[in-house]
Amino acid sequence: MKIDQRDSLAFLRSLGSVESLQRDAQEGVGQATPLLFNCHIHLPPNFSAFESVEQAVDLARDQGVKVLGASNYYDFSVYEPFVSQTQTAGIFPLFGTEIIALERDLMAQGIRLNDPANPGKVYICGKGITQFQVLSERAEALLQTIRRNDVKRIATMVQKMADVFKAGGLDTGLTVERIVDRVAARHGCDRDTITLQERHVAQAFQEVTSELCKKDPDSARWHAVLGTTPRSARDDAVGLQTEIRSHLMKSGKPCFVPEDFLTLAQARELINALGGIVCYPVLADGVDPICEYEKDADTLVDHLQTERISMVEFIPLRNQPDCLEEYVTRIRAAGIAVVAGTEHNTLALDPIDPACVGAAPLPDTVRSIFWEGTCVLAAHQFLGAQGESGFTDGQGQPNIQYASAEERIAAFAALGRTVMARYFARGPATDTLRKASN
């Protein structure tokens, strides 16, 4: 078992006993005014719009966001500084993770879930995780399997990329080790915490190539490696990185390397072992045509109920307001809690408070449902830190003390409002919180 030296969850236990907060919740004591929230961002060293945890938290504070959730891939050491920074800023932190899995039967049927280009591939999140400081043997084994598969795949991809660029007259000198060094230097983080993603690789090759081509009068060398003249301007780093991924790294392209995924059952097992709520990220009209698994709100609800999934998440900047409202209200009416975030997993520094396509505001009904789900998460996380069963238990089953899904959501939302009221009443970085984190 791996044990972190600091206890990132002590601030939750310091808020008081489960009994006292549940009593306050039953009496209606809680955060009366809905707050601005974001339940899903990625923090470096994951590929992220942010250069540091401090930048992410500072931007959230400056934009009035009071609840901020991180959902990093496969390493959670960043959550200790995340707790420290959010406490100082007066922001309530939420902890999560994101996992990529594969359902081979759906792949064989050509059914897309929430990946528009890959049938059977599914992104699944764990929300409100609390067992990430002391990992069970099973959680450690699953995480090591993921990391080992990722390392092998990325190493093969980087070598293919280096060969293609060299054949096009661009000797980048890039290796896995050198790309890791670049990420570590950029974010000032420990190399051992870095899980390289495709975006890291594309960024490294774009940056080195742009430097090598700085004095070129045309795009001939870019054409040589991409097999086409890039559409992006020479100073458009994000655009060039996207083109590198599209022309070289995706399925059927010269540097593509197939991924070796966990099954969805294994991904759910890992989330349960981490103490989280299994949460399905909905793409909806974020792609045209809508994925078969999500083809309409009723079809998606049927799938979610069959899989006994208690929570879903939206990244609304992908969605039109009317479509978002249709899906969110139908899913919530089915007794499934709903949350929202932004990911910030590209270099674009979009606003941290979620909005729809084109910065259109969230419909009022949708924002209210998202806030309710955010409160459910806060309650689940509080109970998990106290060693109690939360919104779901360690097997992913709904908390059985509630007669219905509606009753369970209402009770957890009330407790979450109480948890946050108690947290904010103490003010940012109080001596009590500082002592609890030491």
pLDDT tens digits, one per residue of 51-67: 999 999 999 999 999 99
Is 287 in the same domain as 239?
A: no
Does residue 215 register a pLDDT over 80?
Answer: no
pLDDT tens by residue, 302-354 = 999 999 999 999 999 999 999 999 999 999 999 999 999 999 988 889 999 99
Does residue 37 register a pLDDT over 90?
Answer: yes
Is 412 in the same domain as 281?
A: yes
Is 302 in the same domain as 356?
A: yes
Is 318 in the same domain as 423?
A: yes
Per-residue confidence (pLDDT) for residue 428, from 0 to 100: 65
Is 163 in the same domain as 213?
A: yes
- When divided into structural domains, the chain yields a total of 2
What would the two tokens of residue 276 be?
């989280």
Is 330 in the same domain as 421?
A: yes
Strands 92-102 and 121-127: antiparallel
Is 128 in the same domain as 161?
A: no
Per-residue confidence (pLDDT) for residue 438, from 0 to 100: 30
- Across the range 119-138, mean pLDDT stands at 94
- The closest of 217, 152, 198, 214 to 345, measured between CA atoms, is 198
Measured in whole angstroms, the distance separating CA 43 from the mean position of its chain's CA atoms is 9
- Across the range 221-241, mean pLDDT stands at 89
Per-residue confidence (pLDDT) for residue 21, from 0 to 100: 97
CB within 8 Å of 120: residues ≥ 6 apart: 102, 103, 104, 105, 106, 107, 108, 111, 112, 113
**End-to-end distance of the chain based on CA atoms, in angstroms?**
21
Binning pLDDT at 50, 70 and 90, where does residue 432 land? very low
- Across the range 222-229, mean pLDDT stands at 90
Is the whole-model pTM more than 0.85?
yes
Residue-number span of the structural domain to which 292 is assigned: 10-135+276-437
Is 289 in the same domain as 320?
A: yes
Mean pLDDT, the chain, as a whole number?
92
Residue 76 neighbours by CB distance under 10 Å: 24
Return the percentage of the chain with pLDDT > 90, whole number.
77
Residue carrying structure tokens 């022309």: 247
Per-residue confidence (pLDDT) for residue 395, from 0 to 100: 87
Is 123 in the same domain as 155?
A: no
Does residue 434 register a pLDDT over 50?
Answer: no
Per-residue confidence (pLDDT) for residue 270, from 0 to 100: 96
Q: Is residue 268 part of a domain?
A: no
The CATH number covering residue 350 comes to 3.20.20.140
Is 244 in the same domain as 289?
A: no
pLDDT tens by residue, 252-308 = 899 999 888 999 999 999 999 999 999 999 999 999 999 999 999 999 999 999 999
Alpha-carbon span 264 to 285, nearest angstrom:
23
Q: Is residue 270 part of a domain?
A: no
Q: Is residue 3 part of a domain?
A: no
Return the percentage of the chain with pLDDT > 70, whole number.
95
Q: Which long-range contacts (CB under 8 A, 24 or more apart) does 178-184 make?
A: 178/204, 179/204, 182/207, 183/44, 183/45, 184/45
Binning pLDDT at 50, 70 and 90, where does residue 41 land? very high
Alpha-carbon span 414 to 409, nearest angstrom:
9
